Amino acid sequence: MAKWIVDDPGGAMTALEALDDATMRRIRRQMVENGAKVLLKELPNTIEQRHHVVSGALKGSVGVGKIYEDLDGTSIDVYPQGDDPRGVNNEMKLKIINYGFYHSASGKRQYKKDFFLGEKFRKKCEPRIRGVMMETLRLCMEELNNK
Protein backbone atom coordinates (compact mmCIF):
# COMPACT_ATOMS: atom_id res chain seq x y z
CA MET A 1 0.00 0.00 0.00
CA ALA A 2 1.00 3.63 0.03
CA LYS A 3 3.75 4.80 2.34
CA TRP A 4 3.12 7.94 4.33
CA ILE A 5 5.78 9.98 6.01
CA VAL A 6 4.53 12.43 8.59
CA ASP A 7 7.33 14.97 8.56
CA ASP A 8 8.22 16.33 11.97
CA PRO A 9 4.74 17.08 13.34
CA GLY A 10 4.94 20.45 15.07
CA GLY A 11 8.70 20.44 15.72
CA ALA A 12 8.61 17.14 17.59
CA MET A 13 12.09 16.11 16.46
CA THR A 14 13.65 19.15 18.13
CA ALA A 15 12.05 18.16 21.43
CA LEU A 16 12.98 14.49 21.02
CA GLU A 17 16.62 15.12 20.08
CA ALA A 18 17.24 16.65 23.50
CA LEU A 19 16.44 13.29 25.14
CA ASP A 20 18.57 10.18 25.49
CA ASP A 21 18.19 7.47 22.82
CA ALA A 22 16.11 5.03 24.86
CA THR A 23 13.59 7.67 25.93
CA MET A 24 13.44 9.13 22.44
CA ARG A 25 12.70 5.71 20.90
CA ARG A 26 10.05 4.94 23.52
CA ILE A 27 8.23 8.23 22.92
CA ARG A 28 8.59 7.96 19.15
CA ARG A 29 7.12 4.45 19.23
CA GLN A 30 4.17 5.63 21.34
CA MET A 31 3.56 8.51 18.93
CA VAL A 32 3.55 6.19 15.90
CA GLU A 33 1.37 3.56 17.60
CA ASN A 34 -1.21 6.16 18.63
CA GLY A 35 -1.16 7.70 15.14
CA ALA A 36 -1.76 4.25 13.65
CA LYS A 37 -4.92 3.91 15.76
CA VAL A 38 -6.46 6.67 13.63
CA LEU A 39 -5.79 4.59 10.50
CA LEU A 40 -7.12 1.45 12.21
CA LYS A 41 -10.45 3.24 12.63
CA GLU A 42 -10.53 5.21 9.38
CA LEU A 43 -9.54 2.51 6.86
CA PRO A 44 -12.44 0.13 7.70
CA ASN A 45 -14.85 3.09 7.72
CA THR A 46 -13.65 4.18 4.28
CA ILE A 47 -13.95 0.62 2.94
CA GLU A 48 -17.55 0.54 4.17
CA GLN A 49 -18.40 4.03 2.89
CA ARG A 50 -17.16 3.08 -0.58
CA HIS A 51 -19.41 -0.03 -0.52
CA HIS A 52 -16.59 -2.58 -0.68
CA VAL A 53 -18.13 -4.86 1.93
CA VAL A 54 -19.35 -8.26 0.73
CA SER A 55 -18.51 -10.71 3.49
CA GLY A 56 -16.95 -8.18 5.89
CA ALA A 57 -13.63 -10.05 5.85
CA LEU A 58 -11.71 -7.16 4.27
CA LYS A 59 -13.13 -4.54 6.60
CA GLY A 60 -12.55 -6.67 9.68
CA SER A 61 -9.02 -7.69 8.78
CA VAL A 62 -7.35 -4.24 8.99
CA GLY A 63 -4.61 -4.39 11.60
CA VAL A 64 -1.07 -3.50 12.56
CA GLY A 65 1.47 -5.60 10.71
CA LYS A 66 4.96 -4.76 11.91
CA ILE A 67 6.76 -1.91 13.63
CA TYR A 68 10.16 -0.91 12.26
CA GLU A 69 12.59 1.00 14.46
CA ASP A 70 16.06 2.42 13.93
CA LEU A 71 17.96 5.54 14.94
CA ASP A 72 16.43 7.64 12.15
CA GLY A 73 12.78 6.85 12.75
CA THR A 74 9.96 4.53 13.61
CA SER A 75 7.38 3.26 11.14
CA ILE A 76 4.40 0.98 11.34
CA ASP A 77 2.46 -1.07 8.77
CA VAL A 78 -1.33 -0.85 8.81
CA TYR A 79 -3.06 -3.01 6.21
CA PRO A 80 -5.68 -5.76 5.77
CA GLN A 81 -4.27 -9.09 6.91
CA GLY A 82 -5.10 -12.72 6.33
CA ASP A 83 -7.51 -14.28 3.86
CA ASP A 84 -11.27 -14.10 3.41
CA PRO A 85 -13.43 -17.26 3.75
CA ARG A 86 -12.82 -18.09 0.08
CA GLY A 87 -9.03 -17.97 0.50
CA VAL A 88 -8.45 -14.61 -1.20
CA ASN A 89 -5.72 -12.50 0.39
CA ASN A 90 -7.27 -9.36 1.93
CA GLU A 91 -4.29 -7.12 1.20
CA MET A 92 -4.32 -8.11 -2.46
CA LYS A 93 -8.07 -7.58 -2.58
CA LEU A 94 -7.67 -4.01 -1.29
CA LYS A 95 -4.92 -3.28 -3.81
CA ILE A 96 -7.13 -4.49 -6.66
CA ILE A 97 -10.13 -2.51 -5.39
CA ASN A 98 -8.03 0.64 -5.04
CA TYR A 99 -5.68 0.48 -8.03
CA GLY A 100 -7.31 -2.04 -10.35
CA PHE A 101 -9.55 -1.92 -13.38
CA TYR A 102 -13.22 -1.37 -13.89
CA HIS A 103 -15.44 -2.42 -16.78
CA SER A 104 -17.22 0.36 -18.60
CA ALA A 105 -20.68 0.02 -20.12
CA SER A 106 -19.06 -0.86 -23.47
CA GLY A 107 -17.32 -3.83 -21.81
CA LYS A 108 -13.82 -2.40 -22.15
CA ARG A 109 -11.39 -2.70 -19.28
CA GLN A 110 -10.21 0.69 -18.06
CA TYR A 111 -7.90 1.87 -15.30
CA LYS A 112 -9.51 3.49 -12.30
CA LYS A 113 -8.90 7.18 -11.86
CA ASP A 114 -10.51 7.54 -8.43
CA PHE A 115 -8.25 5.86 -5.88
CA PHE A 116 -10.12 5.89 -2.59
CA LEU A 117 -6.86 5.51 -0.67
CA GLY A 118 -5.30 8.42 -2.52
CA GLU A 119 -4.83 12.08 -1.75
CA LYS A 120 -8.38 12.63 -0.38
CA PHE A 121 -7.91 9.87 2.18
CA ARG A 122 -4.52 11.27 3.14
CA LYS A 123 -5.87 14.81 3.55
CA LYS A 124 -8.68 13.48 5.72
CA CYS A 125 -6.46 11.39 8.00
CA GLU A 126 -3.13 13.20 8.23
CA PRO A 127 -4.24 16.21 10.34
CA ARG A 128 -5.84 13.86 12.88
CA ILE A 129 -2.74 11.65 12.92
CA ARG A 130 -0.51 14.68 13.50
CA GLY A 131 -2.81 15.86 16.29
CA VAL A 132 -2.74 12.50 18.04
CA MET A 133 1.04 12.28 17.69
CA MET A 134 1.57 15.77 19.11
CA GLU A 135 -0.79 15.07 22.01
CA THR A 136 1.15 11.89 22.77
CA LEU A 137 4.41 13.86 22.71
CA ARG A 138 2.95 16.51 25.00
CA LEU A 139 1.76 13.93 27.52
CA CYS A 140 5.11 12.10 27.47
CA MET A 141 7.05 15.35 27.95
CA GLU A 142 4.78 16.30 30.87
CA GLU A 143 5.40 12.89 32.38
CA LEU A 144 9.17 13.35 32.02
CA ASN A 145 9.06 16.83 33.55
CA ASN A 146 7.08 15.58 36.54
CA LYS A 147 9.64 12.90 37.40
Local confidence pLDDT in tens for the 147 residues of the chain: 555 565 566 666 677 777 777 888 888 899 999 999 998 999 888 888 877 677 778 888 888 888 888 877 888 888 889 998 888 888 888 887 777 766 666 667 666 666 778 788 888 888 999 899 989 989 998 998 887
In a domain, 32, yes or no: yes
21 found inside a domain: yes
CA distance readout (Å), 101 to 10, 77, 85: 39, 25, 23
Closest CA to 37 of 131, 139, 115: 131
Task: Judge whether 135 lies within some domain.
Answer: yes
61 is a domain residue: yes
4 inside domain: no
Q: How many structural domains does the chain have?
A: 1
Residue 9 lies in a domain: no
Distances (CA, A) of 62 to 25, 65, 78, 96, 99: 25, 9, 7, 16, 18
pTM for this prediction: 0.75
